[in-house]
Structure 1
Amino acid sequence: MESKAPAYQSDERLATSHPVSYDDVDVFGDEGNHQIVYKTLSWRMVAVLMICEIVSNGMLSLPSSLAVVGIVPGLILIIFLGVFATYTAWVLVQFKLRHPDVHNMGDAGYILFGPIGREVLAFGTVLFAIFATGSQLLAGEIALATLSDNKLCAMLYSGIFAMAILVFSFPRTFSNLSHLSIAACLSILIAGLVGMIGAGAHPTPNRGVDAAKSSNFYAAFVSITNPVFAYAGHFMFFTLISEMRRPQDAMKAAYCLQGFATTFYVIFAAVVYAYAGNDVASPSFSSLEIKWQKAAYGIALPNFLIAGALYSHTASKLFFVRLFRRSEHLHSHTVVGWTVWTGLIVVSNGLAFVLAVGVPIFNYLLGLVASLFAAWYTYGVAGFFWLHDAFHDFDGFRTWRKRWPETTLAVLTIAAGAFICIAGTYVNIRGIIEAYNDGTVSGAFSC
């Protein structure tokens, strides 16, 4: 995208001065005669894809967060972050509707900050997507190892799961992944229910459960990052909305996602912590009695698999659309198009595998990448979106002053993103230093 995306106005009040249709300027244009059609998703299927991507292995760390700060502040934080993420999702959707040519955070970065903004936000999107794929690889590794009683080297489990993710991330459109995501959503829901039942059936003896606990900043913020990044899926929203039949319905999907995620997170975290206590493991399924562990991990496997496929698919699609936007290779079955797509899928999954099994401090780096980029994508950057459109599409500084409550909320959103970014970066760097000092860092490509 070499020029700023036109600000298409979806507001009926402005329709007469902007008579351009959405399809005239959106990412994929008019797809009437194309072989590969992208804009096929309903808002319900987008909701399913969002739930599959966000409500995944991240929820398994929530009970351990409650063990650090206590059940009351922990649950309040989960609810607050869910409401906050709903607001930022609304801002992202409104920005997308006003700028149909935006396909990913890189495109949005160009509108906000020019060429440098595009490269930084695009780089962060790809980096976080690849690390998130690696995180699902490790979740799959743990699940397979648990199911097989650790009979193979851990790296082999990761390799097996990586190949499966590669196969499922190969389709060119999200519509080909959406029906698989239904099974993935059901798997994580049922796995969570099995986990709660297992925790209740075999509660930890003499467990300690605290309403609230005091802790130092480092320990508290490490635990807080779990619920913060359990909602970290907004970086995919632009890409998903771009493949909707009616992008105007995107907020319905977002409401469905946030309502389900917040409710499920609260119930799961509270129940598992109440029965497992302060010694609950992360991931929390590992605190269950072995037969319940196997049941929960086995049922959750489809979700880990499809979520990983969605992440690697997103990383690949950013490059693919950037290379072939408005060309025949994007919408037709050309040799060049499929060769490039295959190469991107292989590279993104290969990088995820190498990082997950070859970097001993992968989990710390995942937290670092999430702090540097996902904190902005889910929370902070929405404030910039609102300020930009309120300024450029209305009456500049006068609009900011006139709509001061919304302006204040946008500024606070930016401040929240900055705080999470800075504090998260600090605790992850400190965690890396302490891990090396303590000698707890394992070797690369080890079992």
Structure 2
Amino acid sequence: MSMLPGPAGITAPTEQMRELGVEPEEVRRMSQAGTHPGVRQRLWGLQARLDPTVTFEEFTYWAKVEREMEAEEYRRYKAVTSGGGILGSIKGYFTSNAYEDARIQEDNSRALQSHEESTQWSEKKTVPVVNADGTASPIAPSTTHDFDAEWRQAARALRTAGWGSIFYLITTDILGWGQTPYVFSNTGFGLGAGIFILMGIAAALSGWMIWYVFIGLDSSRFPVLSFGDPFFRLYGPKTRHFINVTQALQMFLMVAVVLLGQTGIISQLSGSVNLCFIVCGVISLVVSMASGYMRSLKHLGWFCNAAVWINVISFIIICVAAAKFGPDPAPAVQNGILPKIWNTPGHMYPVTTFTNAPPAKFQPTDTNLFAAKFNGINSMVYAYSGALFFVAFLAEMRHPMDFWKAVFLAQGFITIVYVFFGAFSYAFYGQYSYVVINQVVKPLSLQILSNVLALITGWLAVFLYFNVAMKTVYLEIGQELLHLPPITTTKGKYLWWALGPFYWILAFVISMSVPQFTAFTNFVGGLFSLNFTYSFSGIMCLAYKIQDGARLPGEGFDPATGVTTRYDSGVKRWIRGFTKTWYISLPILIYVGCGLASSGMGTWAAILALEGAYGPNGSVLTSWTCVNPYYNP
């Protein structure tokens, strides 16, 4: 049933909005005059999205209205742009601002202008008036002020992305392609390719679940902007704080991971002069800290586009070098548990590959084969960890109903790239397939070029992770809990600059204190990336389906009075919602259980690898030491 105009449909609180700026006496007079329905109108927008008094039913009501209005806008767009043929249809799918583009064309056509005038009137909303006997009767729409239309126009002006743009964003976030050969070195060809495909399908399903919840909860009145917002509406503010703090912690550890990776690249580049390893870390820290003082992502927008082509160039260089020159064994040997003699002249073991999981002798990080397989899976999940940003992507879309197209196409494309590059590189690098694959490249000239390109894209990743994590910490903890000034103010800017160095120094200390880069990466992937990509998206969708399915006849949100009617609450309601939607809720629950179990086993495997790095076959060179592991006199 449509939620658009009608006596019980969406209402524009033209009279009610007067309450927000008047004295209590004026409110009393409004009630006596019959223009005040007795309910104080809520605030809309950024502040209202975290209003704890807004119910699940109210969120979903306005979300349904929003989706219908978006569908109407899209129908207008199709009516205006029809007749353009195949090319016109393709251009329409990838346009950033479909409705505004249609309006421009519409103004140039008399026939379509007439259509516009008729549909504009149909969007006007009726305003309920409470009669003396307490009944509500509709009146004609206001011809002087339509607050709902004005607010929505302003709110949606910030949403300009089409699904083609989102496809581009998701596919450009495949910095994990360089880790894929390392996955095959842990699992072998068969298991590696199979799990890559399985995890790719699961990542697409997670994206679908995030999209499904978003379209059910988001509206111009109550926008969903961050990964924590749906948890606030489904579980409460404490769960939102947990998600936001966990997200900030994951971003922080990702910064530490990339810092350590950058340190390794710099130390390899300076291996001929035996530059102290700690000095290499300080260089990485200083460059990263300099970029971190920018508070807006727009400062590196052009660089993000350039990074795409840098990745393409690196991809080609590594493939050609692998097939023609083979591996440099130093990175895998010096930073793992492979026999150290394999890195000495004349003793390099031939490149060896396996269809199934390689024997313990050829494992890069752990001789326990079960743990070794999960170390590979952890790196695989780390490569698929873009789901963390999906809510932010959806919040930028003009027509979020199209997001599923971007998710499925992007995940399919990414999976193909991962499987091809991982299997291809593993075929020529074998057991020497290090987690930072560009460090294995030969000859030296191509290795230097590949490392320089990796440094550039790595520092971009550091900036992005720092920006997201620091803003989350400042907004969710600083502003909301500690009442610090907004980040947009002068005081907030100075505090941002003051807190930044502590953030970077702490990340640097952590990065230099772990004994093995690959095990550290796997730990972050198993404990955080796996849950944000798979477990949390399922938990989000499960709560939505249960609460939506728990509705009883007569329950719901009444837009005329602002009252939500529920006949029960608590555990009884959750059980009823689950039983009524078991055919969907049960598979999602199993999906969540598999995600949590995989996270537990993956984290356990990473911890075993960290422990093994301190053993007799391990290496602690990537720690607080001045020894350069790549120096070869």
On whether the aligned pair clears a TM of 0.5, the verdict is yes
- Indicate the SS of the match to 2:354: coil
Deviations 1:57-93 (A, max 9, x none): x433321221232212211211221121111012112
The answer as to whether partners of 2:183 and 2:376 remain within 8 angstroms in 1 is yes
Partner Cα distance (2:396, 2:459) in 1: 22
Cα 1:369–1:201, aligned 2, differ >3 Å: closer, same or farther? closer
Q: Are 1:196 and 2:319 counterparts?
A: yes
Letter in 1 for 2:357: K
The answer as to whether partners of 2:379 and 2:522 remain within 8 angstroms in 1 is no
Q: What is the CA distance between 1:437 and its match in structure 2?
A: 3.8
Q: What is the CA distance between 1:312 and its match in structure 2?
A: 0.6
Partner Cα distance (1:244, 1:176) in 2: 21
Query: For residue 35 of structure 1, what is the aligned residue in structure 2?
Result: none
Query: For residue 203 of structure 2, what is the aligned residue in structure 1?
Result: 85
Q: Are 1:136 and 2:258 counterparts?
A: yes
Higher helix share: 1
- Where does the alignment leave 5 or more consecutive residues of structure 2 unmatched? 1-49, 70-124, 126-146, 328-348, 360-368, 552-574, 627-633
Partner Cα distance (1:203, 1:413) in 2: 40
Q: Which moved more, 1:132-141 or 1:6-15?
A: 6-15
Give the alignment's Cα RMSD to 1 decimal.
3.5
Partner Cα distance (1:75, 1:340) in 2: 47
Partner Cα distance (1:22, 1:180) in 2: 37
Cα 1:96–1:435, aligned 2, differ >3 Å: closer, same or farther? same
Q: Out of 160, 181, 202, which is 1:63 matched to?
A: 181
Cα 1:110–1:23, aligned 2, differ >3 Å: closer, same or farther? farther
Q: Are 1:297 and 2:475 counterparts?
A: no
Q: Are 1:3 and 2:52 counterparts?
A: yes
Q: Which moved more, 1:386-395 or 1:168-177?
A: 168-177
Q: Are 1:357 and 2:512 counterparts?
A: yes
Taking structure 1 as the reference length, what is the TM-score of the superposition?
0.83
Aligned residues: 433
Partner Cα distance (1:431, 1:163) in 2: 30
- Indicate the SS of the match to 1:3: coil
Q: Are 1:154 and 2:277 counterparts?
A: yes
What aligned pairs does 1:6-85 form with structure 2 within 5 A after superposition? 7-8=59-60, 9-11=62-64, 30=155, 43=163, 46-53=166-173, 55-56=174-175, 58-85=176-203
Query: For residue 354 of structure 2, what is the aligned residue in structure 1?
Result: 210
- Indicate the SS of the match to 1:409: helix
Letter in 2 for 1:268: F
The answer as to whether partners of 1:239 and 1:314 remain within 8 angstroms in 2 is no
Letter in 2 for 1:212: N
What aligned pairs does 1:13-412 form with structure 2 within 5 A after superposition? 30=155, 43=163, 46-53=166-173, 55-56=174-175, 58-100=176-218, 101-149=223-271, 151=273, 152-203=275-326, 206-213=350-357, 216-244=369-397, 247-255=400-408, 257-289=410-442, 290-322=444-476, 323=478, 334-360=489-515, 364-395=519-550, 400-401=578-579, 404-412=582-590
Q: Which has the larger radius of gyration?
A: 2
- Indicate the SS of the match to 1:233: helix
Q: What is the CA distance between 1:122 and its match in structure 2?
A: 1.8
Deviations 1:373-399 (A, max 9, x none): 222110011212222222223445666
Q: What is the CA distance between 1:359 and its match in structure 2?
A: 4.2
Q: What is the CA distance between 1:272 and its match in structure 2?
A: 0.5
Partner Cα distance (1:363, 1:414) in 2: 26
The answer as to whether partners of 1:48 and 1:182 remain within 8 angstroms in 2 is no
Q: What is the CA distance between 1:144 and its match in structure 2?
A: 2.7
Cα 1:444–1:298, aligned 2, differ >3 Å: closer, same or farther? closer
Q: Percent identity?
A: 23
The answer as to whether partners of 2:387 and 2:532 remain within 8 angstroms in 1 is yes
Query: For residue 440 of structure 1, what is the aligned residue in structure 2?
Result: 619
Q: What is the CA distance between 1:311 and its match in structure 2?
A: 0.6
